[in-house]
Chain A
């Protein structure tokens, strides 16, 4: 099973296998096939999604299940909620997470609340795929990271995979889940190639993953920030500092147990989150650990986030915007100063 495929292909494969397993799974989105009603194309897609993530699926499952929508986010996202409430398992694609404003009501006030408002009668098995992240020169309206915004809404689960294996397993798990799951794909990860099993499998939603064990400092990451943490951990290792790196995997509901257990051991915590710095996942983790893990802490909790600005276009500025290893390294040094003295 040493087959290597891209992050993008892993996501595509999850949709493919989920559709094969369950006829109730349908895909909706803007140009997820492309070329609807164009006679010479028939069941052949023109695009397969703006990045090509859904490529090949319309050819296999037809336009009844891979549905091109007009550019009409509140219409088709709301329709996906309605179809989920009445028994289908729709997987709509929101082309960029920055477009959430157009369809926010359908998730914030409708889908996420139905089960509760209706006294437990409704099930909303809906998986919304969307992409996020800076680093592609896509500027302010196509580069944000809004998983924390969605993760603050009761009734919605939010996952942010950092690698191809998790992406496939989490997407399968999301489609099996009877709740709204927001699935965030970092567009700058689409090309990474990794070993991914061919068979169907799931990765548990709500469970963080310890990617490297350590005793001196815990670094919690979301999505591709994992790679920043691993780089820092490697550098610090040469200084004799032993870092534990935790990939959060699920932003809502996030895994308190794994993180608090790690802080119990290390006494020091850094959280790296590409979202803007206020009211985000990092600040939430920080607040919970400060509360429940206060006695274990040997120093302040540090959050390393994007600045409180939109994502800039110019490449040099965009590079400054994204949390990087240098920033984390400097902060880590401050945190472990006492350790080095002793």
Chain B
């Protein structure tokens, strides 16, 4: 496993900032009415996507969720293409035909955000089967939320990955709520991690606000998978800064207790302080990354705004491959 060093710390800090700025800006623009449809923002959970994807290459795959912008950015998807996609423009990563919930870039190993909660499990298993069949040491990370953990696909997907010892890492982003319903109500098991026992695979619970902890745990699980030792469940306790979707009043969020604790934590700020203290980043470097990120997102917005809408004929294209 690669250690957290200056190089990947800078990469992680850049991606964390890109995700936060991207989402804050999408939030602002959505409110203005310029972005149509359903949008689910990843802000607040940056430590998970970046801490995991820091271990991956383009030849490794991920499956994502409806809250997928963060995974896309951490997996190296182009910011301009992503923003244009969310705006429904022809220059979007999916030519404007997928939108926020379906951003994908298979060349980057990004097998798609997914509008079906729990839809990613079997697809990740299939990509893992492919990796094993072709005798590669590439892995697949299946990101999912605490809500998806109660879909049948969770069971079937993880069971298959376990019996076939596939190189798939199941990363749960437990942000306490599936839409407007608490995880404590939805799941009979106290944690998602403990369900690993049922499949005889490791299940680990980590503080998803702590980048270093996510990075270390993901690194170990990914190493195991690359060596052919099979899947792992990693449950990251995290918190979404915004609602389930844009426009959600979030009446269900308490103003005290665990939720307040989580809401008060900012994983990016925490990592900045820690990285500077442990000399992985200098203050100037961190400031520079932040400033560049703001510029990159501004550029992406401009690109999206200035891009053309899809040609009418595009409606009929790409239903079937020739």
B217 at the interface (CB under 8 A from A): no
B188 at the interface (CB under 8 A from A): no
Number of interface residues of A (CB under 8 A): 41
A118 touches B159 (CB 8 A): no
B124 at the interface (CB under 8 A from A): yes
User: Per-residue CB proximity of B290-322 to A under 8 Å, as 1/0?
Assistant: 000000000000000000000000000111111
Say yes or no: A155-B133 contact (C-beta < 8 A), given A74-B156, A85-B123. no
Using CB atoms and an 8 Å cutoff, list the residues of chain B in contact with chain A: 61, 63, 92-98, 102, 104-107, 111-112, 114-116, 119, 121-131, 133-134, 152-153, 156-157, 159-160, 163, 317-322
Contact partner, A110, options B106, B107, B123, B133, Cβ 8 Å = B123
The residue on A at minimum CB distance from B163 is: A70
**From residue B40, how far is it (CB to closest CB) to chain A in Å?**
16
Of A75-83, A192-200, A232-240, A255-263, which binds chain B?
A75-83
Contact partner, A121, options B104, B116, B119, B126, Cβ 8 Å = B104
A337 at the interface (CB under 8 A from B): no
A229 at the interface (CB under 8 A from B): no
A173 to B319 Cα, complex, angstroms: 19
Using a Cβ cutoff of 8 Å, how many contacts connect chains A and B? 141
The residues in A between 61 and 118 inclusive whose CB is less than 8 angstroms from any CB of B are 64, 69-70, 72, 74-88, 90, 105-106, 109-110, 114-118
B129 touches A83 (CB 8 A): yes
A123 to B321 Cα, complex, angstroms: 6
A83 touches B93 (CB 8 A): no
**From residue B35, how far is it (CB to closest CB) to chain A in Å?**
18
Contact partner, A70, options B119, B129, B159, Cβ 8 Å = B159
Residues of A within 8 A of B115 (CB): 109
B122 touches A82 (CB 8 A): yes
A121 to B160 Cα, complex, angstroms: 27
Residues of A within 8 A of B133 (CB): 26, 64, 83, 88
Using CB atoms and an 8 Å cutoff, list the residues of chain A in contact with chain B: 26, 64, 69-70, 72, 74-88, 90, 105-106, 109-110, 114-124, 154-155, 157, 178-179
Residues of B within 8 A of A155 (CB): 319-320
Residues of B within 8 A of A82 (CB): 63, 111, 122-130
Can you offer 21 A-B residue contacts whose CB atoms are under 8 A? A72-B156, A74-B152, A78-B126, A79-B125, A79-B126, A79-B129, A79-B157, A80-B126, A82-B122, A82-B128, A86-B106, A88-B133, A106-B123, A118-B98, A118-B104, A119-B318, A120-B317, A121-B104, A121-B105, A121-B106, A157-B320
**From residue A80, how far is it (CB to closest CB) to chain B in Å?**
6
Given A79-B129, A86-B111, A105-B153, 20 more A-B residue pairs with CB atoms under 8 Å apart are A70-B159, A70-B163, A72-B156, A75-B153, A78-B122, A78-B126, A78-B157, A82-B124, A85-B123, A106-B123, A114-B112, A115-B320, A115-B321, A116-B318, A118-B112, A120-B317, A155-B319, A155-B320, A157-B320, A178-B321
The residue on B at minimum CB distance from A83 is: B126
A157 to B320 Cα, complex, angstroms: 9
